Amino acid sequence: MALGIIGKKIGMTQLFDARGHLVPVTVIQAGPCPVIQKKTVDNDGYNAIQIGFGESGRKKSANKPYSGHFKAARVKPAATLQEIKVENIEEYEVGQNVKVDIFKPQDTVVVTGFTKGKGFAGVIKRHGFAGKDSGHGTHEAFRHGGSIGTRVPKRTLKGRRMPGRMGNKQFTVKNLQIMLVDKENNLLMVKGAVPGWKGGYLVIRKAQ
């Protein structure tokens, strides 16, 4: 059995659990994901399958190695690829679909995605700095970060918290519980929030 699948974040809603409590859930469209390539212990040193998800916006003639990779598997080019470990590689063939039925309610999963990109941000928004006093002669430096160096050594040390790009980084949330599996519509409803924006790609793996 495959230990994961690729999905797309649809949004958030609410469900009632078995005790009647209202629980926030994230709706994820998970699969079907065709198997593009098989990797075995004999050839690659480990057992895994490469699966795809979504429709690629690339033209067929734009990237011959990319299109040829899918042509060899006899599947349509996918928007994203991911390697997933499997328990028994013999159960899978190239072109076969991995579906949401590998999960069941109450399963615990690990969800990986990219956080929302916030663009270039200052130290107050990015790191939670307090800023400078708004009185006592302060001017033109209310949201500045202050000193970034020392006399010795005469340079800025690595790791200094400074302005820069915020967000758009890979982030993993562990131990999320599956509340509902909709096999007909390829939907997963996971308790709590997951990283990313609506329409962003996610990798959902079974917790080890």
pLDDT of residue 132: 86
Q: pLDDT for 73-121, tens place per residue?
A: 888 888 889 998 887 888 888 888 888 989 999 999 999 999 999 999 9
Mean pLDDT of 35-44: 87
The pLDDT, as a whole number, for residue 164 is 95
pLDDT at res. 9: 96
10 CB-near residues (< 8 Å, 6+ apart): 26, 27, 28, 29, 187, 198
Cα 17 off chain centre by = 26
| pLDDT (mean) for 57-65 | 62
Question: What pLDDT score was predicted for residue 79?
Answer: 87
Quick one: average pLDDT of 20-45? Answer: 90
Q: How many CB atoms lie within 10 A of CB 64?
A: 10
As a whole number of angstroms, the distance between CA 4 and CA 205 comes to: 4
Domain annotation for the chain: domains and CATH numbers:
4-119+172-206 (2.40.30.10), 120-166 (no CATH)
pLDDT for position 194: 94
Q: Is the pLDDT of residue 157 over 60?
A: yes
Dist. CA 163–CA 81, nearest whole Å: 33
Mean pLDDT of the region 46-57? 86
pTM of the model: 0.81
For position 85, what pLDDT does the model report? 85
State mean pLDDT over 197-201: 93
Least confident of 57-61, 168-172, 179-183: 57-61
Q: Which residue, among 108, 113, 110, has the nearest Cα to 171 in the 3D structure?
A: 113
